[in-house]
Structure 1
Amino acid sequence: MKSNRNLHDTPTPQNIPYTQRRLKTKPTLILLLILLIGNLFWFVLWLLPSEESALKDGSETVATVEGDAITRQQWLASMESRYGKETLRNLVNETVMDKAAQKYKIKANDEEIDLEIALLRSARDTNDTSLHSLSTEQLRQKVRAQLLLEKVLTNDVVIEEQEAKTYYDENQSLYNIPTTYRTSMIVVNSKEDAERVEKELKNGSEFAVLAREHSLDAASASLGGDIGFVSSEQSSVETAIVKAAQQLKAQATSKPFVLSDGRYAIVMVAEIIEGNSFSYDEVENHVKRQLALEQLPSSITPEAFWAEFGVEWFYGETKK
């Protein structure tokens, strides 16, 4: 059957109206444009290093000085060269002591850790600030590691009962622990400066922040004013500071008061540990351990156990 339709009636590109051709080609152009933009986007991403790859190769910038970058790799390398060896040694020693404690069935229980912390906090005339910045958990872990070390080192040393009792009787004051106050302070030059600091505290400023900004005591200022636990029996702590702390409850802040050198201070008590007197039975193991440590040569260290537990480390030194 033949069509009556003339061949000239079939539309050709030439005789399709321009507006119709434009409508048909527009979706195709849009699709091509999207594909082009997508390709350009992925090409740019391929050229730029990702954050993950920057972290892996150490090229991530951690600081800039007048536009000059300090990379993560430089930062980590500097820390490793300054502190890496000693930090790794401490980690190895802690692990070795854990292994030795397991082998010799030695433990450090919570009661022993509590006792050691109490004795540590009441230590007379201590200027050691290394413990001030530790959290409670970090402090307990540090004391536990030290306990295990001492127990392992003295495992084979025998102390007679009478010797231990005599030591306790002669040093009983060491085991009469006074009430101690975890104290922070801000030291300034004048009463007016102290009153300005007091006003900022009342307006909600944090004590630690103000200590770093205003305190003239550089050692404690860097720790947010923290000077550790103080008590009436510490001659290294000024009497005015102890007296001010003793009048406060936990989390309370004092009024400004004058120091012996004419400067002024404000103190804040974060925590109060009530005093206690320990009987011989409560500290017997501690006393015997201290006497045993005195009998050991000073050269004995945790490294003496490295060979026994097959230690190999980054610095490649052989421990005998």
Structure 2
Amino acid sequence: MKSNRNLHQTPENIPYTQRRLKTKPTLLLLLVLFIGNILWFVLWLLPNDDSSSENDGSEPIATVDGEAITNQQWLAAMESRYGKETLRHLVNEAVMEKAAEKYKIKVSDEEIDLEIALLRSAQDANDTTLHSLSTEQLRQKVRAQLILDKVLTNDVVVEDDEAESYYEENQSFYNVPTTYRTSLIVVNSKEDAERVEKELKNGSEFDVLAREHSVDAASASLGGDIGFVSSEQASIDTAIFTVVQKLKEQEASKPFVLRDGRYAIAMVSEVMEGHSFSYGEVAEQVKRQLALEQLPPSITPEAFWAEFDAQWIYGEKKK
């Protein structure tokens, strides 16, 4: 198989790790609702005591014009809207753990660290997937994906010379720049920015102020978080990177002007030092990505449900 790939050509030629980040369904909603759905399933399994209104879910948890919305209605609505996909997510992770045991597949912390570093490097500024997950959620998601990738490519052979050629052609992808996990409060005027700065100095939390004052709706809803910023991101306002690279962790900036004329205050919550990965450090990862490119892109963990007798309440077991 010949290799003629370049990171800066068409989307089809972008390394699989980058494409996977941009094409995987957004997991934020599922993870946010994870706890609620687990609670629903626990309550669903527990016996009901019809004589007690405290245990049958009829107690009100909200009212509108005096009319109650009960705990039971709330849990049922969550299950109806999000329960199936959340349960699918849980079953898929369990299936992948079983597959790892059966095929004696190991995933090291170093492999997870490498994948996360490459994902950060490839992150699109408009993709909130990475910074919407906690560190543990992200590591668990990467682990499950690595198990799936290793299972799928277990019998695929990629020659060393092909892998080395790929690495040389796409070396810039493995030169991960220093990135700064950044939060922003964007306002319309210098006066607004100075008022926000004063509130910060008086002890107000940055994420709270972002939700209250930032006019950038997308980041405001996340407490100002815009993810990891680096010098390689053309879509990021250069004024932002110029400021954040001078900040220490947990340090907020002075107000500064964005290229659209609005004002912003930035805070850096985490600094991830850059690293240039040698071929030796990424050889297995490169071979795995090349092997994956030989397989249909639509394979999911559900393809293994039958093998591990996975069943769920939404229908028959997968075949």
Q: Please, what TM-score do these two structures have when normalized by structure 1?
A: 0.81
SS at match of 1:313: coil
2:72 aligned with 1:73? yes
Displacement of 1:146 in angstroms is 1.4
**Counterpart AA for 1:92:** V
Long gaps (5+) in structure 1: 1-49
> Which residue in 1 is equivalent to 2:144?
145
Alpha-carbon separation, structure 2, partners of 1:68 and 1:84: 26
> Which residue in 2 is equivalent to 1:112?
111
Alpha-carbon separation, structure 2, partners of 1:138 and 1:124: 17
**Counterpart AA for 2:137:** Q
Is the contact made by 1:125 and 1:235 (CA closer than 8 Å) also made in structure 2? Answer: no
Alpha-carbon separation, structure 1, partners of 2:65 and 2:151: 53
Displacement of 1:235 in angstroms is 1.1
Larger-gyration structure (1/2): 1
Displacement of 1:125 in angstroms is 3.0
Is the contact made by 2:125 and 2:236 (CA closer than 8 Å) also made in structure 1? Answer: no
SS at match of 2:133: coil
Query: Bigger CA drift: 154-163 or 183-192?
Result: 154-163
Alpha-carbon separation, structure 2, partners of 1:240 and 1:96: 46
**Counterpart AA for 2:259:** S
> Which residue in 2 is equivalent to 1:201?
200
Query: Bigger CA drift: 208-217 or 143-152?
Result: 143-152
1:222-241 aligned within 5 A:
222-241=221-240
> Which residue in 2 is equivalent to 1:44?
none
> Which residue in 1 is equivalent to 2:88?
89
**Counterpart AA for 1:105:** K
Displacement of 1:220 in angstroms is 0.6
> Which residue in 1 is equivalent to 2:165?
166
Is the contact made by 1:183 and 1:270 (CA closer than 8 Å) also made in structure 2? Answer: yes
Long gaps (5+) in structure 2: 1-48
1:236-315 aligned within 5 A:
236-315=235-314
SS at match of 2:91: helix
Alpha-carbon separation, structure 2, partners of 1:305 and 1:55: 41
SS at match of 2:266: strand
**Counterpart AA for 1:65:** V
Displacement of 1:143 in angstroms is 1.3
Instruction: Count residues with an aligned counterpart.
Output: 271
SS at match of 1:56: coil
Displacement of 1:318 in angstroms is 3.9
Give the share of equivalent positions with the same residue, in percent.
Answer: 78
Alpha-carbon separation, structure 2, partners of 1:124 and 1:145: 19
Is the contact made by 1:124 and 1:235 (CA closer than 8 Å) also made in structure 2? Answer: no
Displacement of 1:202 in angstroms is 0.4
Displacement of 1:165 in angstroms is 0.7
